[in-house]
Each structure stands twice: as structure tokens, then as C-alpha cells.
Amino acid sequence: MTNIKNRRWVLDHYPEGMPGEDTFRLEEDVPIAALGDGEVLVQAHYLSVDPYMRGRISPAKSYAASIEPGQLMVGGGVGEVIESRSDKYSAGDFVETMGFGWQEFAVLGDRGLNKVDPDLAPIESSLGWLGMPGRTAYFGLFHVANIQPGETIVISAASGAVGQVAGQLARNHGCKTVAIASTEAKLDWCKEIGYGEGVNYKTEPDLAAALARVCPDGIDMYFDNTSGPIQDAVMMNLALHGRIALCGTISLSATFGQPDIGLRLNRQLLINRARMEGFLVTDFAAHFEEANQALAKAHKEGNLKFREDVMDGIANMPKAFIKLLNSENFGKQMIKI
Amino acid sequence: MTNIKNRRWVLDHYPEGMPGEDTFRLEEDVPIAALGDGEVLVQAHYLSVDPYMRGRISPAKSYAASIEPGQLMVGGGVGEVIESRSDKYSAGDFVETMGFGWQEFAVLGDRGLNKVDPDLAPIESSLGWLGMPGRTAYFGLFHVANIQPGETIVISAASGAVGQVAGQLARNHGCKTVAIASTEAKLDWCKEIGYGEGVNYKTEPDLAAALARVCPDGIDMYFDNTSGPIQDAVMMNLALHGRIALCGTISLSATFGQPDIGLRLNRQLLINRARMEGFLVTDFAAHFEEANQALAKAHKEGNLKFREDVMDGIANMPKAFIKLLNSENFGKQMIKI
């Protein structure tokens, strides 16, 4: 297998604000290292494109170390084992990992891999509803915010990978759900999968007033995938003992690493005795099986639909990523290799 | 007793920004209503002056309804029952209530009163360490933030009524404590009662850097009595899984009701998987006895000191309140009648 050549994207330089295609550099004809004990060679079938990647290409402190210029871009992927020196995986097995990288082939240790059963669901589901985004939705709703039937739940980036799962899980739990998204087409899709209400943050002249109309009893829980002015508008409608689960800050993509100046919302939290909490899916690793079972059950019962936005070919990775940061994707963004 | 005349402060008008003495109006020779069944007439010995009162003289939404111009100013007090038509209290009993009002005499229903034992502690303690401020400190530390021995706890308005109790309870619990206050005299007092470190927010040119020096492992819990730029500086030093208990926003006194523009700290919460939560002492009414016992025990063991800033006479109520909002008090502000 050593005659296989790899193609991969490395970081060219830290971008100021919104990344461009020249933020990354494609390396071709990269030789593949020989396998060590416990390692497998995996050929990517799907690579994941996620908002968190913006934080990794910044020198600003984040929850994980930045990658440096010249290094392989980080990212999740699912693919097929084509060579193995592991006793856990054999050629022909499908595996998923958040540590795949933006590349066609990866040499991976067998300890960070998750086996994927292609008969259970299409393998790309392991990057979406049955993977990191789906579990993120589950933990944010049930572990961080402890949502209750009858509560009003507002979700930003509502048709995104995390948002669409969160909306359906909350609906399945007996909550009233409100989607915030950037286009009417996205909001239509949100309604189709079961969101009760939808608000277009690009066209509403007064987002806080729009939310007040659809949430007359206030917002009990906000699943925040965006931060920024959308959060401000939600906070103006917070219900007593509201909870805000901070999942992402994609609205800051264009100004990433710079101070975020805007409304400080301490009085809203104080008045409503509300709680705002940041969380990472990986903090809940001990509960992944619980989440997987809940997600698989909802899907099997027909109560969890999932929309993917698939582009073809590794050459498109930067394009797909920038599309995502600009909110131009429609559903979970990934690349088919 | 009907020949007694009352003196009381009513709200004259909603102030813009910092209140002035003309925000209030003293009414003299006010007749006292005859007692109804279950009511007592109480003569004030001490009246309480607290930051929350700023929120009550604003038309902006808060956790309690605003009072209207012409109405009696709200506030806590402790005094002696001088006439009773209640079977719970007799003349000579001492009682405390948050519903006393800025007045020398109050006709009060017997259901909202707390009996005060003058042999247990000086009666004014029921407005301080053994009352609302002391319990607020207790619930913020132990119920909201669940502090643990060895953690680093930062407290703003550290020598104030809530802050000085919080600092000592955290120290008693085995935490490292850092006081933030406005003068060296206040910081000296904080050290004297057991705070480990102190930072002067008025003279430090870079508060975030100063906190970084005294909190090299980050801040596990912030007891926020102030909000504003002090909070920003704390957030820049947040430890993983930090908790911020939002108790007060006294730094906003001069701009109360206006939008608070500044750093938005979502990335800090997200990166550190931290939690920010607003709370009110009255939400924990079911646990008051637990708090009282803990406070009394600490005091009895010599591990809870308390400094009061007492002015004389009801005529000084507005002056004492404005002094408090300007951080010119030193210890729990109250008025002796």
C-alpha cells in the first residue's frame, strides 16, 4: 500500500477575520508512512466540516490548542480500513474519528477510533445525527439545560448539523420549539422536521420583538450556536430560570479573536435568575452511549430527520468551510471523497 | 399609640443615572393607621441600606416591581413591637423584615416578620451577617456555585455586606480567597478578616493582569457583586469549569436602566465550559434555617467578623444610600434610628 499517495490540506497562515481559500494549502503526492503496531490506514469516504475549526486556526486561546501554519488541518472523518496492524480493526471495517484531518488517507492509532456499522445507518451519519453534532444537541438539551416538557426552546443555526437535531429532540420531548435561521428555505425545512415556529434573523427588522411574538411566555432555554446579536435578542425574552447552553459562536467568525463588544447581559441573567453555560461534547464522553441510543431510537421511530449538504472532492474543503462560516450551507456540511 | 407621628421617605421621581438626595422626599407628621387583626406596630431601631434598592426606583423591568413616585421607599429594618393585635408577637418583641420601608414606624402583618433574639446577637445583625446579606453570601457560594476546598474564589465589593461574609465563609471552607475593593483601607480590613489576597480596582492599571498575578491557576468561582469592567477582568482569568454567581450590578448604578455596552464574554464561558448564573436570596427561602445555622456557627467559633457602617437618623437615609452606590461606605450600610 505504500505506493498510495495522499492529498491533504495544511494551514498556510492564520487568517484575519473570515478565512479565504488561500488560508489553506493543498499538498499532493504526499507519501504515506508505514504502519506501526496498533495502527491502521484508513481511506476517507466523508470528511466533516464544522464551525469549531475556526477556533483552531487562530492563535487566540481556545479549548483546544491551535494548529500551526504548515500543519495538517484538523477535522473528523469516516472511512474504510484498507490496511491494519491493529488487532481491533481489519481491512474492510468502517471507522470514524474526530482526528482524521483534511486528507484522503490517514494513518491512525486504533485507540481514538469508533467502529461504524454500515448496516445501522449510512456511514456518513457518524459525522452527523449519530455523531458529534447529534450528541452535542443531546447533551446541550438534556445534560446542560435539563429541558422539561412544555418549555419554550429557541435554537439558533436551527437547520445546521447541531440545530436540526436539537430542534427534533426538544420537540420529541414535548417542548415548544423555535428555529432561528438565515433563509426562508431553511425555515421551511425546520417546520418540515417539526419545529413549531421560525424566525429569520436576516430579514426581521427587530429580532427581539419577533421572538416576543412567538414566545409570549418567554424563552426557557436557548441553544446558542451563534452568539452575537441573536443571543442579545433572545436574552431580552428570557423566562424566569432560563438556561442558555453556549455551544458555538459562529457569528464571530469574521472577527474571530478580536474582543466582542456589545450588550452585556448581566441584568437579564440576574433578573431572571438565569444560567448561561458553555459546554463541549467531549466533556460528556462517559455518556456517549446514552446519547447514541437516544439518537438511534428517535431515528428508528421516524422522529429524527437529518439534512446533509455534501460537496464532492477534497479540493473543495476550504470552499465548504467558508460556505459554512458564511451560513450558506443548508444542513450538515461535509465532503464526499 | 395613635398620637405617634411617623416620618418616612417616599420616592419623588425616577432618577436618571445616579440618584441624588432630591430623588426622595421626607414626609413628616404622618399619622399611623389603626392596627387590624394580626397586625403589629413596630418602632424601627435600624434600617437597612442595600444596593438592590437602585433597581426599585427605576421603571426598567427587574425581579421585583418598581415603586412609583409618591410611594414609600422599600427596605429592610429591625425594631421593637410597641403595640400588637397579633397572637404571634407581643409588645417588647424584636422583629426584622425586608418589608419595613424607609420609615420610623411601620404597621406590619405578622406573617412576613422574623423574630429576632437580642440575646443571640445584637439586633442589627439581622440586617447583616445573620440576615439577608449573610444568607446571600451563603447561598451564592454553596448553592449556586458549589465551591470546593482548594478552589480560588474572587469576590467583588469584598468588604461590603455580602462580600465580607462571602470571603470568610469561603476561607472557612478551605478556599483561596481574593478581595476586590476600592480602597487600601477596605483591602486591609479584608486581609484582617481572612481574605488571602486583595486587589484595588481603582488603582490597578490592568485589573486582569493583577488578578492573573494573584490567581496563577485561574479563578474557579467569582462572586460578582458589581458587574461591569471588574467582571471582564475576572473572566479573562477564568479556570476550567469556573462558576460566576451574579449577585449584584452596583457598578451600573450611574447608568441604571440603560443598555450596558462592553465586552461580551461568550468565548470565555465556552472555552472554559464555565457557568454564569443569576440568583436572589429569596429564591432559597426553604433553606434559610440551614444558612442561619451555618452563619451562627461560624460567628460563635470566631470565624465570622462583620463591619457595619452606621449613620444616625432617618433624615440621612438618602445620603447613606448614595454613599453606598458610590462605594464610599465601608462595611454594611445602615441607619440607626
What is the ipTM score, two decimals? 0.91
Banded pLDDT at A167 (limits 50, 70, 90):
very high
Model pLDDT for residues A187-246, shown as the tens digit of each residue: 999 999 999 999 999 999 999 999 999 999 999 999 999 999 999 999 999 999 999 999
Pairwise pLDDT comparison (A255 vs B295), residue with the higher score: B295
B276 and A CB contact within 8 Å: yes
- Residue of B52, B77, B92, B93 lying closest to B314 (CA atoms): B77
* A319: CB partners within 8 A, 6+ apart: A21, A311
Model pLDDT for residues A55-109, shown as the tens digit of each residue: 999 988 888 888 999 999 999 999 999 999 999 999 999 999 999 999 999 999 9
Q: Using alpha carbons only, what angle is made at residue A243 by residues A240 and A247, rounded to the nearest 5 degrees?
A: 160
- Distance of alpha carbon A182 from alpha carbon A331, whole angstroms: 12
B278 and A CB contact within 8 Å: yes
The pLDDT, as a whole number, for residue A64 is: 85
- Residue of A200, A198, A169 lying closest to A183 (CA atoms): A200
Chain B partners within 8 Å of A271 (Cβ) = 61-63, 278
Chain B partners within 8 Å of A261 (Cβ) = 261-264
CA B287 to each of CA B139, B142, B195, B282: distance values in angstroms, whole numbers, following the listed order? 9, 11, 26, 10
What percent of chain B stands above pLDDT 90?
A: 92
- Residue of B1, B23, B165 lying closest to B85 (CA atoms): B1
User: Across the interface, do B62 and A271 touch by the CB < 8 Å criterion?
Assistant: yes
Q: How far is B138 from chain A (nearest CA, A)?
A: 16
Q: Directed axis angle between helix B161-172 and helix B288-300, to 10°?
A: 70
Length of chain A: 337
CATH code, residues B5-128+307-336: 3.90.180.10
User: Across the interface, do B272 and A63 touch by the CB < 8 Å criterion?
Assistant: yes
* A48: CB partners within 8 A, 6+ apart: A75, A76, A77, A100, A127, A131, A132, A333, A334
Chain B partners within 8 Å of A259 (Cβ) = 263
* A18: CB partners within 8 A, 6+ apart: A253, A254, A322, A325, A326
- Distance of alpha carbon B157 from alpha carbon B141, whole angstroms: 15
Q: Which fold has domain B132-282?
A: Rossmann fold (3.40.50)
User: Across the interface, do A262 and B260 touch by the CB < 8 Å criterion?
Assistant: no
Task: Report chain B's C-alpha Rg in angstroms.
Answer: 20
**Pairing state between β B39-48 and A105-109:** unpaired
Please compute the mean of the pLDDT values over residues A309-317 and round it to a whole number. 97
User: How many interchain CB pairs under 8 A, A with B?
Assistant: 112
B86 and A CB contact within 8 Å: no
Mean pLDDT value across chain B:
95
Q: How far is A63 from chain B (nearest CA, A)?
A: 5
- Residue of B280, B246, B244, B330 lying closest to B132 (CA atoms): B280
Please compute the mean of the pLDDT values over residues A44-54 and round it to a whole number. 96
Banded pLDDT at A2 (limits 50, 70, 90):
low
Burial of B38 (0-12, 13-18, 19+ CB in 10 A): middle
Please compute the mean of the pLDDT values over residues B236-263 and round it to a whole number. 92
User: Nearest Cβ partner of A266 from B246, B267, B279?
Assistant: B246
Under a CB-based contact definition with an 8 Å cutoff, are residues A306 and A125 in contact? yes
Chain A partners within 8 Å of B266 (Cβ) = 224, 227, 231, 246, 249, 252, 260, 278
The pLDDT, as a whole number, for residue B2 is: 60
Please compute the mean of the pLDDT values over residues B58-77 and round it to a whole number. 91
User: Across the interface, do A283 and B263 touch by the CB < 8 Å criterion?
Assistant: no
Within the 243-272 window of chain A, which residues sit less than 8 Å (CB to CB) from chain B?
A: 246-249, 252, 259-267, 269-272
CA B69 to each of CA A202, B11, B25, B30, B49: distance values in angstroms, whole numbers, following the listed order? 41, 5, 10, 17, 19
Q: Using alpha carbons only, what angle is made at residue A273 by residues A179 and B167, rounded to the nearest 5 degrees?
A: 140
**Pairing state between β A275-278 and A238-246:** parallel
Model pLDDT for residues B180-206, shown as the tens digit of each residue: 999 999 999 999 999 999 999 999 999
- Distance of alpha carbon A196 from alpha carbon A216, whole angstroms: 14
The pLDDT, as a whole number, for residue B259 is: 87
Counting other chains too, the contacts that B321-328 makes at CB distance below 8 Å and 24 or more residues apart are B321/B19, B321/B49, B321/B53, B322/B18, B322/B19, B322/B20, B322/B21, B324/B49, B324/B50, B324/B51, B324/B250, B325/B18, B325/B19, B325/B51, B325/B54, B325/B250, B325/B253, B325/B254, B326/B18, B326/B253, B327/B157, B327/B182, B327/B250
Q: Which fold has domain A5-127+307-336?
A: Quinone Oxidoreductase; Chain A, domain 1 (3.90.180)
User: Across the interface, do B252 and A267 touch by the CB < 8 Å criterion?
Assistant: yes
Model pLDDT for residues B68-106, shown as the tens digit of each residue: 999 999 999 999 999 999 999 999 999 999 999 999 999
- DSSP per residue, A116-176: E-TTTS-GGGGGTTTSHHHHHHHIIIIIIS---TT-EEEEESTTSHHHHHHHHHHHHTT-E
Model pLDDT for residues A170-185, shown as the tens digit of each residue: 999 999 999 999 999 9
Please compute the mean of the pLDDT values over residues A16-30 and round it to a whole number. 95
User: Across the interface, do A276 and B269 touch by the CB < 8 Å criterion?
Assistant: yes
Please compute the mean of the pLDDT values over residues A124-138 and round it to a whole number. 97
Please compute the mean of the pLDDT values over residues A152-163 and round it to a whole number. 97
User: Across the interface, do B278 and A264 touch by the CB < 8 Å criterion?
Assistant: no
HSE (side-chain half, CA atoms, 13 Å) at B21? 8
The pLDDT, as a whole number, for residue B63 is: 81
Amino acid at the residue A322: I
- Distance of alpha carbon A54 from alpha carbon A50, whole angstroms: 8
Under a CB-based contact definition with an 8 Å cutoff, are residues A44 and A127 in contact? no
Chain A partners within 8 Å of B262 (Cβ) = 261, 264
The pLDDT, as a whole number, for residue A62 is: 82
Residue B247 DSSP label: -
Phi-psi region of A218 (alpha: psi -120 to 50; beta: other; left: phi over 0): left
Domain ranges of chain A: 5-127+307-336, 132-282
- pTM attached to this predicted model: 0.93
Q: Using alpha carbons only, what angle is made at residue A178 by residues A215 and B258, rounded to the nearest 5 degrees?
A: 50
Under a CB-based contact definition with an 8 Å cutoff, are residues A233 and A213 in contact? no
Burial pattern A102-130, b for ≥16 Cβ within 10 A else e, equals: bbbbbbbebeebeebeeeebebbbbbbbb
The pLDDT, as a whole number, for residue B158 is: 97
Model pLDDT for residues A254-306, shown as the tens digit of each residue: 888 888 999 999 999 999 999 999 999 999 999 999 999 999 999 999 999 99
Asked if pLDDT for residue B3 goes beyond 90, the answer is no
User: Across the interface, do B277 and A274 touch by the CB < 8 Å criterion?
Assistant: yes
- Distance of alpha carbon A277 from alpha carbon A268, whole angstroms: 15
Weakest mean pLDDT among A58-67, B52-61, B103-112, B214-223 = A58-67
User: Nearest Cβ partner of B275 from A227, A271, A277?
Assistant: A277
Closest alpha carbon within chain B to A267: B249
* B213: CB partners within 8 A, 6+ apart: none
